Amino acid sequence: MRNNWEEYRYGGDAADVKSLFELYRIGDYLDTFDENRRRHDQGIREKLLQHGIRLTDRLSPRIYHLFEEVCKNLQIESEAEVFCMPDQSINAFAVLDLREDKTHSLIGVTAGALERLEDAELKSILGHEMGHFLFGHNRLNALLTMDPKNRSMTVLPPSR
């Protein structure tokens, strides 16, 4: 039996996202943004392969099996790839690499986190990052502006 993730979702998150879609009507904008990303290969996965290490079963059985356990506990089948990033801070991220033929779900975990955290802590981080995929948070990154002159940090106009 699959989980109904909306039962687990923080109500404030669901309400905020609903408000964004209703107030700003961002659905069309996000669809267009995603289609543009598909057409213009961002090479995110290649950058992670170039600057990090993909943690496979043979290369890092510990992390690979922790991730498998998280997916099993969440009752999800995931093709996400986990990467170790060369940074001694404790941090992680989840990003989508949209391509014409496939969407890659990519999780990066810093070397500092992998070296210093216990298995239970790492599973919590991996589960948290999977939550970004499950609830579509990655798509909302398209609302952040790259314009340093925009003080609101978003492409959205101010609300009324």
Q: pLDDT tens across 110-141, in order?
A: 999 999 999 999 999 999 999 999 888 888 88
Number of neighbouring beta carbons within 10 Å of residue 151:
8
pTM above 0.85, yes or no: no
Least Cα distance to 123 among 79, 75, 49, 64 occurs for 64
pLDDT band at 24 (very low <50, low <70, confident <90, very high): confident
Report the CATH architecture of 11-143. 2-Layer Sandwich (3.30)
- Residue 141: which of 96, 75, 76 has the closest Cα? 96
- Of 62, 44, 64, nearest to 54 by C-alpha is 64
Kindly list the domain boundaries of the chain, sorted by start residue: 11-143
- Whether residue 159 is predicted with pLDDT greater than 60 in this model: the reply is no
Residue-wise pLDDT for 37-83, tens only, equals 777 766 889 999 999 999 999 999 999 999 999 999 988 888 899 99
Report the pLDDT value the prediction gives residue 51, as an integer from 0 to 100. 95
